[in-house]
Amino acid sequence: MVSVMHANNEIGTINSIGEIGKICRERGIYFHTDAAQTFGKLPIDVNRLNIDLLTASAHKMYGPKGAAMLYVRTGVKIKPLLHGGGHENGLRSSTVNAPAIVGFAESVKICLQEMKQENRRLIKLRDKLIKGILKNIPDSYLNGHPAKRLPNNANFRFAYIEGEAIIMQLDALNIAASTASACSSPKLQPSHVLLACGMRPQDAHGSLRLTLGRWTTEREIGQVLKILPGVVEKLRKMSPFK
């Protein structure tokens, strides 16, 4: 089996899973994609993308935490990890969390209704954020693909300073950010994703991830563009790396 993220949760790059799936299909290999970042945000056609197995999580689309799904193409054989009462068609035994499932389904319905309109809104805000930061902060760089990226993701690196210091300064000014993925934000190691992209550890340490959501406003983007240049300049004056 081959497993590839549909889109990376740190740098926002959307992977060419349709091409990867085609190669797997031609060789008789099962293809799985983790669509946690894209399900409900981007159109997904499992047939066109040659997907055999797909996972998604409810909380990534404002659904209840603790609810997830696994799509299994007809004919794909998998073995359960939990055995017992035979729930979920024999694939996962344990009492079914009906309220979470209903909440998940409702969040999917809302996302599908709003997807096109919300994506246009987020892309406009995301691009304003990216252009503003790259234009107004010297030695700043965008991480990830400039075009093939999630509508809500902007990931940067800033020379001569550490991302951890940036997020502490921003946090004091009521701006939430992270240096890597939210699930590993307490770690002080450089992002393994950025290192795998060929970045030097000192450059990876200078990364900042800003993500947008359903309630992000243009005014808030303006606040970030107003505050961040001063934060970076302040930290660079104190930096031993410059």
**pLDDT tens digits for 118-174?**
999 999 999 999 999 999 999 999 999 999 999 999 999 999 999 999 999 999 999
- CATH 3.90.1150.10 is right for the domain spanning 116-238: yes
Q: Domain residue spans in the chain?
A: 2-108, 116-238
Instruction: Return d(Cα 8, Cα 178) in angstroms, integer.
Output: 15
The pTM score is 0.91
Confidence of residue 187 (pLDDT cuts 50, 70, 90): low
Would you give the end-to-end CA distance of the chain in angstroms? 46
pLDDT tens track for 203-219: 899 999 999 999 999 99
Which of the 8 DSSP states describes residue 242? -
Which CATH number is correct for 2-108, 3.40.640.10, 1.10.10.10, 3.40.50.300, 2.60.40.10? 3.40.640.10
Instruction: Return d(Cα 122, Cα 48) in angstroms, integer.
Output: 25
Cβ proximity of 23 and 206 under 8 Å: no
β-partners of residue 53 are 32, 72
Active-site choice (24, 111, 183, 197): 183
> For this structure, is 197 an active site residue?
no
- Which amino acid type is present at position 72? V
Cβ proximity of 34 and 6 under 8 Å: yes
